[in-house]
Structure 1
């Protein structure tokens, strides 16, 4: 039973016991039904547009945030390897002044960030002037970015540096939304060379549109009702 429940402890599912999150889910359902699904379609178009248009190489030098993903036998799986490889390409092209590997424990003996570090070390060449920092406390994308913000801005009053967000194309829209709400000057870099709509990828994008709709409508509801506690979750 513990093994079956493990996936529910990660991502948005772990918030299902939270009253504010459930209220946001209820409001989202009402909006979805009331709009005849058009609000969901708008978010899906946004997920697709960002996935389609995002570049694979940055055009300026920024801090590089590479998002982790659940490990398989303490090793990065295919999506995570794609993110690491794309981040490394950008570092070697001079598009990064520092790198943060994001990701805590996903059930194995090491963190996602540490597994990423080991993969990069095994990949070979790495510029000595580009430091690598591990963020190993988070278990979802929001926590990734919150902890990255703390690492990039030790003094609260200091400005945040501009960042590249390196992740899979299906994941970019949600990461951009969260990063910008948290105060980042963020831009996307896609792990995959191009958007290839396989059956698995379509499912992932449909799910991401749902997550993004839930988060976005929840934040709008918090603003409308003056629920500061709820709004503070992504600020």
Structure 2
């Protein structure tokens, strides 16, 4: 099932850019401590996230930018974890088309899953319009609310990505459990770099959320809620 069709998203998000500037200024003002705190939380989640063998909630699988229309190792790890899970719940595979690719992240994920486990087809729900984690989650929320289903979901992604996924989902009103793609966190420098970047993106999000609530700006609030 397709939740959405591919759609173009154009234009500059000036609110987002402003929040990026404010977030960076706040990091500098705190001498990096506010970022360091989120690095710790992102790393702790990466270390502690579970790898259950079965779940009883709808599963949200986050896509990842393709390389020449092909999945990379991180995305493959997410999809292989799906195959290892025992679940009869809906499986949302999220992610639109990102340049220079011509295939959506969701479609590439579906293709991989159906190649390895064809009987998953009835459970798969594709979200192909969004290009970022927040919009992915908004589309999944819209589907669940239209079906009168509770916003109780399991989030599946790489360990370095799970803290931000959890923060965004909780900000949208989801009750979440986490499912890590990898059996354990690999402390290779590339993963540590990803932890730092994820913490920076989380800092950007939290800054935007706090400023939007403080200003009570409906336009800005609509982007994060």
Q: Is TM (by shorter chain) over 0.5?
A: yes
User: How far 1:27 sits from its partner (Å)?
Assistant: 2.2
Q: Does 1:162 align with 2:157?
A: no
Match of 1:193 in 2: 183
Moved more, 138-147 or 50-59: 50-59
**1:4 corresponds to:** none
What is the aligned counterpart of 1:151 among 143, 150, 157? 143
Correspondent of 2:71 among 72, 76, 87: 76
Instruction: Using structure 1 for the length normalisation, give the TM-score.
Output: 0.84
SS at match of 2:177: strand
Contact between 1:149 and 1:160, CA under 8 Å: does it hold in 2?
A: no
Aligned pairs, number:
217
Q: Contact 1:69/1:80 (CA < 8 Å) preserved in 2? A: yes
TM-score (norm 2): 0.88
Alignment map for 1:209-224 (pairs within 5 Å): 209-224=199-214
- Structure 1 stretches (4+) deviating beyond 6 angstroms? none
Distance 1:212 1:45 in 2: 12
1:123 to 95, 116, 124: 116
Distance 2:16 2:151 in 1: 30
- What displacement does 1:227 show? 2.0
Deviations 1:85-143 (A, max 9, x none): 111212xx23x511011111123232111111111111136467x61111111111111
Equivalent residue number for residue 142 of structure 1: 134
The residue aligned with 1:110 is 103
- The 3 A distance-change label for structure 1 pair 125 and 18 is closer
Cα distance in 1 between the residues matched to 2:151 and 2:13: 32
Partner of 2:219: 229
Partner Cα distance (1:40, 1:89) in 2: 35
The CA deviation string for residues 163-189 of structure 1, in whole angstroms up to 9 with x for no partner, is 111111111111111111111111211
**Farther off after superposition, 97-106 or 220-229:** 220-229
Q: For the residues of structure 2 that align with 1:203 and 1:230, how far apart are their CA atoms?
A: 30
Among candidates 52, 57, 64, match of residue 57 of structure 1 = 52
Partners in 1 of 2:157 and 2:178 — Cα distance? Answer: 8
Shift of 1:60: 4.2
| Separation of aligned partners in 2, 1:97 and 1:120 | 15
Unaligned runs of 5+ in 1: 1-8
| Root mean square deviation of aligned Cα | 2.2
